[in-house]
Amino acid sequence: MKNITFIIILLLVFSDLASEACTSIIISGKYTPDGRPIMWKNRDTDTYQNAIKYFNDGKYHSIGLIDSDDPTGKSVWIGYNSAGFAIMNTASYNLIMSDTIDVKDREGIVMREALMQCATVDEFESFLNDYKKPLGVEANFGVIDAKGGAAYFEVSNFTYKKLDVNDSGLAPMGYIIHTNFSFTGDPNTGSGQIRYKTAGDLFYQAAQQNNLSVRFILQDVSRSLWHSLTKTDLKNSFSQNPDEQKFMNFTDFIPRYFSSAAVAIQGVKPGENVEYTTMWTILGFPLTSVVTPLWLCMGKDQPAQVTLDKNGVAPLCDKAIQLKQQLFPIKKSYGENYINVNALYNGSGTGIMQKLKPLDDLIFDEATKKLDQWRNNKDFKQEIPEFYMFMDQKISEQYSNFQAELSH
């Protein structure tokens, strides 16, 4: 009986680690092709419905990713503010080993408060020092600012360790990756080591080609089906027959069954207008969604596809979740570990990702072109509403086509 109880406890623990896990990177602007820093987070959580929310109740107004069942936005999971300060987190599972403190899971609350009052990496460090203890967190917080600052803070209830991404001794390639362990924590515990290695392989190759860009991150890393341990790439594992179900094990890839969003915040060069900061957002399951670039200067008037509607969901996120079910039709025990690869890619080119790629490319192309123009135009904000309408329309049309196909 004791053995059975122990096994149940282990399953519960590992189930929790599976759902509350993320993959992230911060890249110094000194190493990106255009000189602008980037932070990225692939969010893994069992709260699949996410949305974008605007806040104007602090020293700085901000925009961030929230859970849809938290419509007031008590917690933010990645976002940036009007000072050009951006913050994200990944859960850590090796900083607190024997802590009996009941105050826990406050990472989203801490990030929300930091966005309200911090303008720089240094101010965030002061914020941590001054914050009432215990913090109620066990996390790797990533931050960048408009002055070129970029750092991770590995934070527990009472202490933290800063890892400066601009320190070539710590980040010789110009970036630091974090999954679900901390470098300053217990080296024998934690989670996400395989995803850390996978991300490391992908970013190392990109660095050699001077391709540490937002587009590479969101299209080639957030959606990567390469597994560093098994040396397999599910993208190349499909069969020619689109009607055949071909199931492959889907464990510990960067996109996971529990992935609910992928966000890359592209900062600005020192001295550049902070309003050019861009929050490139893939809302919902990354393999069934498309990118939407967002700008804080639009305030509450963000695209309808990524903000809460009358049903309490963001339409794009909801549609991506519906398509996700085509990839995971097995509903019984551990069905989330097996993906129908042919629904995503197939020899006829009719897989979900194959159909979404042209729209994803179109949005990236148009947004990149407009950003290049806007950086030389002080009145650029007047053009954003039209671009938001363009994205909303294209996304709505694409997913309506999917729904029509599925109904036949």
User: For the chain, what is the HEC assignment?
Assistant: CHHHHHHHHHHHHHHHHHHCEEEEEEECCCCCCCCCCEEEEEEECCCCCEEEEEECCCCCCEEEEEECCCCCCCCCCEEEECCCCEEEEEECCCCCCCCCCCCCCCHHHHHHHHHHHCCCHHHHHHHHHHCCCCCCCCEEEEEECCCCCEEEEEECCCCEEEEECCCCCCCCCCEEEECECCCCCCCCCCECHHHHHHHHHHHHHHHHCCCCCHHHHHHHHCCCCEECCCCEEHHHCCCCCCCCCCEEECCCCCCCCCEEEEEEEECCCCCCCHHHCEEEEEECCHHHCCEEEECHHHCCCCCHHHCCCCCCCCHHHHHHHHHHHHHCCCCCCCHHHEEEHHHHCCCCCCCHHHHHHHHHHHHHHHHHHHHHHHCCCCCHHHHHHHHHHHHHHHHHHHHHHHHHHHCC
Give 306: exposed, middle or buried? Use CB within 10 Å, 0-12, 13-18, 19+: buried
pLDDT (0 to 100) of residue 408: 63
User: Which of 87, 176, 175 has its CA nearest to residue 137?
Assistant: 87
- Classify the C-alpha dihedral 391-397-402-403 as positive or negative: positive
pLDDT (0 to 100) of residue 25: 98
3-state secondary structure 153-173: EEECCCCEEEEECCCCCCCCC
pLDDT (0 to 100) of residue 404: 82
Interatomic CA distance for residues 300 and 225, integer angstroms: 35
Domains of the chain: 19-406 (3.60.60.10)
**What's the alpha-carbon Rg for the chain, to the nearest Å?**
21
pLDDT (0 to 100) of residue 19: 55
What's the farthest any 2 CA atoms get from each other in the chain?
Answer: 71
- Contact call for residues 179 and 23 (beta carbons, < 8 A): yes
User: Which of 309, 297, 274, 285 has its CA nearest to residue 392?
Assistant: 309
Residue located via tokens 């406890």: 9
3-state secondary structure 309-368: CCCCCCHHHHHHHHHHHHHCCCCCCCHHHEEEHHHHCCCCCCCHHHHHHHHHHHHHHHHH
Interatomic CA distance for residues 251 and 336, integer angstroms: 9
pTM value is 0.94
Residue located via tokens 């899971």: 105
Write the CA distances from 122 to 179, 287, 293, integer angstroms: 23, 36, 27
Q: What is the residue type of 312? A: G
Residues present in the chain in total: 408
pLDDT (0 to 100) of residue 3: 46
Write the CA distances from 288 to 5, 62, 191, 203, integer angstroms: 38, 27, 25, 23
pLDDT (0 to 100) of residue 407: 67
Q: Is the peptide bond before 255 cis (omega within 30 degrees of 0)?
A: no
Note down pLDDT in tens along the chain; length 408 residues: 444 433 333 433 443 344 578 999 999 999 999 999 999 999 999 999 999 999 999 999 999 999 999 999 999 999 999 999 999 999 999 999 777 788 889 999 999 999 999 999 999 999 999 999 999 999 999 999 999 999 999 999 999 999 999 999 999 999 999 999 999 999 999 999 999 999 999 999 999 999 999 999 999 999 999 999 999 999 999 988 888 999 999 999 999 999 999 999 999 999 999 999 999 999 999 999 999 999 999 999 999 999 999 999 999 999 999 999 999 999 988 999 999 999 999 999 999 999 999 999 999 999 999 999 999 988 999 999 999 999 999 999 999 998 888 766
pLDDT (0 to 100) of residue 41: 98
